[in-house]
Every structure is written in C-alpha cells, then in structure tokens.
C-alpha cells in the first residue's frame, strides 16, 4: 500500500499547532472580555470560531478518509501521539470557545460546545504514549490543558445558569487537571526551556489555565448556590493563588531563557507561546476579580497587550508562510531577481 502523501505527512505533524492557533485566539478573546474590551473580544471570538470551523471540517474529512489509509497513516512514526495531542488541543480550544460564547451571553451555544468537548475528551485522554519513557516536548501538557479547559467552561456555565451540579463536576475536573499536570511535568524534557521552538511555553500555559479554572470556581459560588464552605473556599483560594504565582514565575523563566538562548521565532509552534501569554493574562484578570486584588488588574492588562502583540506577530508570519506554501513558484521567481 502506498505511503501517505507529502501533504498528509506535513499536516499530520502540524495538526496540534493548528489547533493551538484556535486555542490561542479564543483565549485572547476571553482575556479581552475580562479586561472590558467587549467589542474587540467579539471580533477576535469570531475569528477563533471561523478557524475552529475550518479545522473541524478538515478533521472530519480526514476522519472519513482514514479508513482507506489506516496502514499508511500507521506508518508515520509517532502519529498516534500527534493525533492525540491534536485532539486534546481541539478539546481545549472548543472549551475556550464555549467560555467566550458564555461571556457573550450565548449560554445555550456554550452548553452545546461543552457537551461536544466532553464527548471528544475521553478517547485521546486514554490513549497510551507510543514513546515509552522518553522525555517529551511541551505538548505533553495537552491532557492537563484539555481537562482544565472543561473545568473553566463548566464553572463559567455553573455561575451563569446557577447549576450547582455543574460546579461540582468542574471541581472534580480541576483536581484531575492538577494531577495530570504533575504527571506531565515528570515527563517534560526540561532541555526544551533552552531549545524549544514555542510549544515549551505550554508548561506555563497549563498552570495559567489551571489558575483560571480555580478563579472561575471561586466566582461561581453565590448565596443562592452555597457551593463551598469556608474550608473549601480557603483551599481553593490558596491553590489558585499558588497556581497563578507559578504561572507568572514560569513565564518569567521562559522569557529569560528566550533572551539568553535566542532561537528562530518563525515556527508554527509559536501559537503555543501566544496561548501561554493570553492565558496568563486571563488568569491574572480572573483572579483579580475573584479575590478582589485590584493591582492584578494592571498586571493582567499589561500581559494581555503583550499577548495581542504576539498574536499579531505570529498571525503575520502564518499568513506569509501560507502564501509561500501556496505560491512557491511565485516566491522563487522573486528570489531569482
């Protein structure tokens, strides 16, 4: 049986990063909404939604074709891990879109996206790693991100719909996500901090989305629901603050490593870097609101505009790269001149 086409192999290796583009854009929309930029948030959310629909259409088409190409696809080394990571990143992106729609007042659409994300989540979560005990890049944190993404959306909908059962389910996912983070950290290749091409920032991004989940769980409580007693709320507050501090420290370490060990900036994996900045900004803003820490608002807004700048830079590179790929002859002819 013939092997996969070059375009198939090319896309198989980039699928997680393509999902990360949707995840980063949706996260930026959530951060903008938290900062009070409602109109701009809706515009960015629309872009994220359009990208998600294109990604879903492509994924569905490839799933329909996979039956006739199963052996060819299996021949690609590490493809199962790549597909699992792409699926988990898509789950996280779907949950982030749902959070954005909930903030926009579309609770029914947010609930539908939560159901879809929950249905997609278990299968890639349970897939075993193909590479045994080998150390992994930043994509090893995808399981944590997907799980915490569900916790964020669940807590957000619980507050909007006054659904206590949904908040308790989100709390279970929150603790599970922290366990998955510890397991992922044990397998993370720390050399990626100095050598990674962008996705190593997920080590900090996973902490940030965990902090955001904690903040949303705290904010979901009310006199009507009475979700958490004083002890529960105290534990949630302390864990959330620790997660935010670790996320901020992680961003500082990763940024310092980028300056000390410069590496090519133009890589599709840089979408993960944008996600980490945007999610850290959103976490800071959410914790500021949940715990009434006003100075965090200023820090969160600074981080948010850094994320916007990073998003614009990576988007500009992605457009230029796509033009080069689609029109290679045109680019080469210009180069000869």
**Residue 333 pLDDT:** 44
CA atoms in the 13 A half-sphere facing the CB of 172: 5
pTM of the model: 0.87
Instruction: Tell me the sheet residues that pair with 188.
Output: 136
Whole-number Å distance between alpha carbons of 233 and 237: 6
Mean pLDDT in residue range 157-173? 94
Joined together, the tokens standing for residue 112 give 């539908």
pLDDT in tens, 139-155: 899 999 999 999 999 99
pLDDT in tens, 309-322: 999 998 888 777 66
Mean pLDDT in residue range 130-137? 64
Mean pLDDT in residue range 242-263? 93
At 125, the pLDDT band (50, 70, 90 cuts) reads confident
Whole-number Å distance between alpha carbons of 102 and 111: 8
At 335, the pLDDT band (50, 70, 90 cuts) reads very low
Residue 324 confidence (pLDDT) above 70: no
- 21, burial (CB in 10 Å: exposed 0-12, middle 13-18, buried 19+): buried
Of 266, 305, 331, nearest to 17 by C-alpha is 266
Whole-number Å distance between alpha carbons of 135 and 142: 15
Q: Count how many residues are written for the chain.
A: 337
CA 182 to chain centre: 17
Q: What is the CA radius of gyration of the chain?
A: 20
What are the backbone angles phi and psi of residue 244, rounded to the nearest 5°?
A: -65, -45
Helices (H), 75-163: 79-103, 107-120, 122-126, 142-161
Tell me how far CA of residue 217 lies from CA of 31, 101, 210, 314, in angstroms: 17, 18, 11, 32
With a CB cutoff of 8 Å and minimum separation 6, the contacts of 14 are: 268
> To 10 degrees, what angle do helices 142-161 and 164-187 make?
170
18 vs 73, residue with greater confidence = 18
At 267, the pLDDT band (50, 70, 90 cuts) reads confident
Whole-number Å distance between alpha carbons of 181 and 147: 10
Strand, coil or helix: what is 136? strand
User: What are all long-range contacts of 163-172, with beta carbons under 8 Å and residues at least 24 apart?
Assistant: 164/225, 164/227, 167/217, 167/220, 167/221, 167/225, 167/227, 168/227, 170/213, 170/216, 170/217, 170/220, 171/217
The full DSSP string for 156-224 is HHHHHHT-HHHHHHHHHHHHHHHHHHHHHHHHB-TTHHHH-SSGGGHHHHHHHHHHHHHHHHHHT--TT
Tell me how far CA of residue 108 lies from CA of 113, 134, 277, 321, in angstroms: 9, 42, 29, 37
Residue 70 confidence (pLDDT) above 60: no
């Amino acid at each position: 049986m013939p092997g996969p086409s070059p375009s198939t192999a090319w896309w198989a290796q980039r699928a997680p990063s393509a999902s990360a583009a949707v995840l980063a854009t949706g996260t930026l929309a959530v951060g903008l909404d938290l900062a009070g930029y409602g109109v701009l948030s809706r515009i960015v959310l629309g872009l994220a939604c359009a990208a998600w629909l294109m990604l879903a259409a492509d994924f569905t088409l490839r799933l329909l074709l996979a039956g006739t190409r199963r052996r060819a696809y299996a021949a690609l080394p590490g493809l199962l891990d790549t597909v699992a990571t792409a699926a988990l990143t898509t789950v996280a992106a779907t949950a982030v879109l749902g959070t954005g729609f909930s903030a926009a007042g579309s609770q029914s659409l947010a609930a539908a996206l939560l159901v879809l994300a929950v249905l997609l989540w278990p299968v890639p979560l349970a897939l075993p790693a193909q590479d045994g005990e080998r150390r992994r890049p930043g994509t090893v944190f995808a399981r944590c991100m997907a799980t915490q993404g569900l916790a964020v959306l669940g807590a957000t909908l619980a507050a909007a719909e006054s659904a206590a059962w949904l908040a308790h389910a989100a709390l279970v996912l929150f603790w599970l996500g922290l366990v998955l983070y510890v397991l992922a950290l044990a397998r993370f290749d720390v050399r990626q901090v100095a050598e990674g091409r962008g996705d190593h920032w997920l080590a900090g991004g996973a902490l940030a989305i965990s902090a955001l989940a904690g903040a949303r769980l705290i904010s979901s409580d009310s006199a009507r629901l009475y979700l958490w007693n004083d002890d529960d709320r105290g534990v949630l507050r302390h864990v959330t603050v620790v997660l935010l501090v670790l996320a901020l420290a992680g961003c500082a370490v990763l940024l310092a490593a980028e300056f000390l060990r410069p590496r090519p900036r133009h890589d599709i994996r840089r979408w993960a870097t944008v996600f980490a900045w945007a999610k850290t900004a959103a976490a800071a803003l959410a914790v500021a609101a949940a715990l009434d820490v006003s100075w965090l608002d200023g820090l969160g807004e600074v981080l948010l505009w850094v994320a916007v700048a990073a998003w614009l830079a990576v988007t500009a590179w992605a457009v230029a790269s796509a033009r080069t790929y689609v029109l290679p002859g045109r680019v080469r002819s210009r180069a000869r001149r």
